């Protein structure tokens, strides 16, 4: 079995990164694997989505990235599940990002931690902020794979092409070996009643093809996603029979296949 480190990356805010992260995490755990989620967002989005209390920085990723980290990841379990652990975020991650800019191997801080103090999980999901700064560079350097949620709007689609460009250039500059694989684009918050969404969904396969990126089935727009997150739960737990719970099936299958690879 292989450990997969998956970054959920986008250079746009509010496109469904954290939503994708928690729903994939829950699906993979239900398939019998252990999952860790790491919150790289100074706004600590995962706390809300996982129903967790904010933590002192000493019990968050800030500590993991600090110079004197000794290996205590102090993760918190999400949703009362024994197989999901969360390494929580903290506002001080913004300052940590500045410190990493001047630290030796600053771009590789997270990758180095995962190497020196490995987590036992089959899948590690990195929930990233929307800005392509030092934190996302760290995510990329630590990743084996990347998933990109794409909102069905002109700016988001052209932004995703720029993101692919950024990932390729950055992986080159950092001499990542092997380079993280872009697992695919995930059209997010699709509303079939919106003409623009239908139109862009039709155009996406061509764009993905040009960029040599796989296109996953869309995640539909549903207020139940918002309600579930307000209750600090994934939809699969909040409304197990909701049809949108099926929207993560193909991504889950692909990740399970990757985990099972020799
Ligand atoms: N498929 C969906 N249908 C309806 N609402 C959604 C869907 N996906 C996400 N949302 C809602 O949209 C908001 C933004 O989603 P989310 O936090 O996952 O995006 P993000 O890309 O992580 O944002 P940020 O850039 O702030 O980290 C949240 O309120 C979330 O509940
Ligand atoms: Mg987020």
∠ CA(114), CA(115), CA(120), 5° rounding?
60
The pLDDT of 156-182, averaged and rounded, is 95
Domain boundaries, the chain: 4-257
13 touches ligand 1 (CB under 6 Å): yes
For ligand 1, the distance from its centroid to the CA atom of residue 113, given in whole angstroms, is 29
27 CB within 6 A, ligand 1: no
Q: How far is the CA of 154 from the centre of ligand 1 (A)?
A: 18
pTM over the 0.85 mark:
yes
Q: What is the pLDDT of residues 96-110, one digit of tens each?
A: 999 999 999 999 999
CA distance 73 to 64: 6
pLDDT of 129 > 90? The answer is: yes
**From the alpha carbon of 41, which atom of ligand 1 is closest?**
27
Residues 110-127 have pLDDT tens digits of 999 999 999 999 999 999
DSSP helix/strand/coil, 93: helix
Ligand nearest to the CA of 46: 2
> Secondary structure of 170-208 in the HEC alphabet?
HHHHCCCCCCCEEEEEEEECECCCCHHHHHHHHHHHHHH
Please give the CATH number for the structural domain made up of 4-257: 3.40.50.300
- pLDDT of 258: 98
CA of 87 to the centre of ligand 2 (A): 14
């Amino acid at each position: 079995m292989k450990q997969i480190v998956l970054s959920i990356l986008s250079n746009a805010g509010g496109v469904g990164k954290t939503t994708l992260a928690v729903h994939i995490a829950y699906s993979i755990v239900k398939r019998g694997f252990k999952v860790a989620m790491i919150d790289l967002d100074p706004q600590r989005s995962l706390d809300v989505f996982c129903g967790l209390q904010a933590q002192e920085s000493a019990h968050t990723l800030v500590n993991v990235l600090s110079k004197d980290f000794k290996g205590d990841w102090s993760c918190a379990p999400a949703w009362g599940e024994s197989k999901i652990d969360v390494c929580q975020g903290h506002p001080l991650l913004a300052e940590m990002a500045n410190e990493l800019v001047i630290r030796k191997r600053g771009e590789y801080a997270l990758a180095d931690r995962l190497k020196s103090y490995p987590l036992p999980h089959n899948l590690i999901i990195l929930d990233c902020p929307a800005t392509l700064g030092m934190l996302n560079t760290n995510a990329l350097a630590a990743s084996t794979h990347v998933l990109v949620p794409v909102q069905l709007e002109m700016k988001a689609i052209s932004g995703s092409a720029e993101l692919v460009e950024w990932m390729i250039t950055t992986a080159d500059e950092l001499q990542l070996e092997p380079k993280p694989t872009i697992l695919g684009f995930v059209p997010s918050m699709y509303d079939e009643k919106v003409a623009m969404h239908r139109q862009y969904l039709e155009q996406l396969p061509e764009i993905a093809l040009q960029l040599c990126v796989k296109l996953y089935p869309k995640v539909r727009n549903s207020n139940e996603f918002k309600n579930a997150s307000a209750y600090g739960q994934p939809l699969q737990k909040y409304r197990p029979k909701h049809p949108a719970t099926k929207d993560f099936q193909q991504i889950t299958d692909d990740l399970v296949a990757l985990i099972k690879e020799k």
